[in-house]
A and B are shown apart, each in its own frame.
Chain A
Amino acid sequence: MTDFSWLELACLEFNQDSKCRQLGRATIEVGFRAGDHGLLVKFHGDSIASVQRIENRDAWAAIPLVITMSPRQWSFYLRRRRTKKESSLMVFNLRNRVLKFRNPLDHLHFQRVHLTIQALVDLAANLPISLDRSIN
């Protein structure tokens, strides 16, 4: 089980990081899910406006973009991303189908701002913590 505390840390870093702002503003809601629980991250403008825990299975259906992986898959992806052995989420999705969209326009919305979402995930991958301990 993962409690996504690593993602909460990454969100704090994201708001401090000028390189992330240089990628351009983004207003999008992204769910990070493992099983029925996870985090809803709301990007607004050039920062992350809020981070909210989701524990209810039904709540996921209303989120425009949900990235769903098992704890083991999250750990695998982030570890490989840290060592630059794994591609972006967009490419990872072509084989692993980890992205779920409410409708095709939401898919386009993800593509419009994919570099910003990837920047957050890469911050998480590069946190100076043991991802295995934090995720499993």
Chain B
Amino acid sequence: MYSEYAEVLVDEASQRRWTCSSDVAWQTIVPLPVDIEIALGQVHSELAKYAETDVEILNIWLASLADDSVVAKQFLDSARYDAMQRAEAWYLRTPSKLDRQSLPSHESVDHYLYENDRDLNDTLTKLAFIRNIFLLVNCEYLLRHAYNKADNTIFSYVIQDLARLVSFVIIYLKERLNEQPQYIDRIQSIVNIGLIKLRQDLHQSTFKESITIVFAGGRANARKLGLPIFNELIEEYCQRLFSFCFWLGIKQTSPSSVSELLIK
């Protein structure tokens, strides 16, 4: 099932490949009020870091595959290319005067992703459930609040790319579960710990603050207009996360996670 799925995804990836140099209408980007520009820069910088993490994890996965896993390697290779494209696109959207290194980012989730990275199954579970499903929902909301055609195009393409990667990881995990049904307890534990890490990041990082400014159309209305949209995003993420858990056979997920993730 996993290798059959890989074949479909390899074809799809080659058909839907985009490049940020030729497919994005960069000329549609016009200057915005400074508070929105800064917030957008911080959001794009954070998203670019996510994409770099994807590249690193895909490298680890590629290196771990046996030589005969040709189709899976082809897919992961194309997924790595996609991740590099989105990293480049989002770095291009980050103003150069913004010091990327100094921005507090989602460090707890990042550390958690790399913790015990010898166990690939664990790393992939974290990547799919805690990082990329969250990122997919963020992209949908950022698409809704895109300020220009260039951002609209980038988010539209990235959603297609990320959905392919998440599909592949989920199918991979489903196959692992068929071989090792007891691994389901491990997934459940990873999801519960991952949500705690995500909550820590959301409370500490500037990402939440920046994205609420983007949603609200400025700092002045960030709390009143942006925060409720961000909380809606979090609820949407949790709903999708739990639907995947349920589909994989995990019946119990931490019920307090949703409300604890919401930013009061």
Contacts and interface: CB of A to CB of B under 8 A. Distances in A.
Contact of A87 (B16, B144, B163, B236): B144
Given A24-B15, A111-B163, A112-B163, A94 B144 contact: yes
Given A90-B140, A90-B143, A94-B144, A115 B160 contact: yes
**Which 3 residue pairs are nearest across A and B when measured between Cβ atoms?**
A24-B15, A111-B163, A24-B16
| Most A C-beta atoms less than 10 A away, residue of B15, B164, B247 | B15
Given A25-B12, A108-B170, A111-B136, A91 B164 contact: no
B167 interface: yes
Nearest to A107: B240
Contacts of A113: 12, 16, 160
Interface of B: 8, 11-12, 15-16, 136, 140-141, 143-144, 156-157, 159-160, 162-164, 166-167, 170-171, 232, 236, 240, 243-244, 247
A79 interface: no
The range of chain A's interface size is 20 to 34
Contacts of A111: 136, 159-160, 162-163
Nearest to B163: A111
B143 A115 contact: no
A27 B5 CA distance: 13
B145 to A, nearest CB: 9
Contacts of A108: 163, 166-167, 170
A128 interface: no
Contact of A91 (B12, B16, B144, B166): B144
Contacts of A115: 16, 156-157, 160
Contacts of B232: 94
B163 to A, nearest CB: 3
Contact of A112 (B141, B160, B170, B243): B160
Contact of B236 (A26, A94, A105): A94
A23 B11 CA distance: 13
Nearest to B242: A104
Contact of A25 (B11, B156, B163, B244): B11
A103 interface: yes
Nearest to A101: B243
B139 to A, nearest CB: 9
A114 B12 CA distance: 12
Contacts of A24: 12, 15-16
Given A27-B8, A107-B243, A115-B157, 13 more contacts: A25-B11, A90-B140, A90-B159, A91-B143, A91-B144, A94-B232, A104-B170, A104-B243, A104-B247, A109-B163, A109-B167, A111-B136, A112-B163
A114 B159 contact: yes
A70 interface: no
A88 interface: yes
Contacts of A112: 12, 16, 160, 163-164, 167
